[in-house]
Amino acid sequence: MIALAQGIVIVFGAFIIYVGLLMFINPEKARAILMKAGSTNFINYAEITIRMIPALAMILYADFSRYPDGLKLFGWFMLGTSAILYFVPRKVHHSFSLRAAEVLNPHYVRLLSPVSLLFGSVIIYCVI
C-alpha cells in the first residue's frame, strides 16, 4: 500500500511537471483546458474525485517522505479543498475557471510555467 501511494505521488508530480511544460510550450491550450474546469457535471466531479487520489496518497506516504509534515499538510489541504468543491455549485466552479483563464493571458501562463515545473519537482523529491 505504501509503495502504491509513493508511485501515485510520483505520477502526480510528473503530471504537474507536464502541466508546466504545456503552459510554457502551448499556453493557449493550457488556458483552454482551464476553461473546461467545471463545465459539465462529468468533468466537474471527475476532476474533483481524481484530485483526491494523489491527496490521499500524499497523506498515506507522508511519514516515509523527506518532509512528512509538509507533504501531509499539502495532502490534507488538497483533500479538504476537493471535499469543499463537491458542495460548490458546478456553475460557480466553472465561472471561476473562466475568470481565471481570462486573467491569465498566454503571456502570464508562460511566465507561471516554471512555478509548476518547480512544484512538480519538489513533490517528486519529497518521496524519492
Cell of 74: 499539502
CB burial of residue 3 (10 Å; 0-12, 13-18, 19+): exposed
CA dist., res. 19 & res. 112, Å (int): 11
CA dist., res. 123 & res. 67, Å (int): 10
pTM of the model: 0.91
Amino acid at 1: M
pLDDT category at 118 given cuts 50, 70, 90 is very high
Amino acid at 61: Y
Q: What is the pLDDT of residues 2-22, one digit of tens each?
A: 999 999 999 999 999 999 999
Cell of 7: 508511485
CA dist., res. 50 & res. 96, Å (int): 19
